[in-house]
Amino acid sequence: EAQVTQNPRYLITVTGKKLTVTCSQNMNHEYMSWYRQDPGLGLRQIYYSMNVEVTDKGDVPEGYKVSRKEKRNFPLILESPSPNQTSLYFCASSNREVATEAFFGQGTRLTVV
């Protein structure tokens, strides 16, 4: 079954404690991206990747890091989380061809206290 898998689904952590949210897709997609969603602000792009070892900043990259060592994985790293990073996070993947659908993971609800 084609899918994008995010883990964990829920996480409560403390300020400053490094964390990683994993994202994996089994569709051999080149393009992967991370979004955060906050009430009234919609989906805002954090980082995206056009292929292995190619990553670029989105609209709200501050406080986040990503890596793309393999095609299927695109982890999101918060080196020193802060309360303003409390949000709902989605990972998405698609083929690079622009006319194709994006598939989303189920989301990660992160709370930083």
Partner 1 sequence: RKEVEQDPGPFNVPEGATVAFNCTYSNSASQSFFWYRQDCRKEPKLLMSVYSSGNEDGRFTAQLNRASQYISLLIRDSKLSDSATYLCVAHDYKLSFGAGTTVTVRA
Q: Does 11 bind partner 1 (CB under 8 A)?
A: no
Question: Smaller CB distance to partner 1: residue 19 or 92?
Answer: 92
Token duo for residue 31: 């393009």
Identified binder of partner 1 from the candidate list 24, 90, 110, 112, rule CB under 8 A: 90
Q: How many residues bind partner 1 (CB under 8 A)?
A: 26
Residue type, 30: E
User: Looking at the chain, which runs of residues are DSSP E strands?
Assistant: 4-7, 10-13, 19-25, 31-38, 42-51, 54-57, 65-66, 76-78, 87-94, 103-104, 108-112
Quote the least distance from Cβ 5 to partner 1, whole Å: 11
Q: Does 92 bind partner 1 (CB under 8 A)?
A: yes
Question: Smaller CB distance to partner 1: residue 15 or 51?
Answer: 51
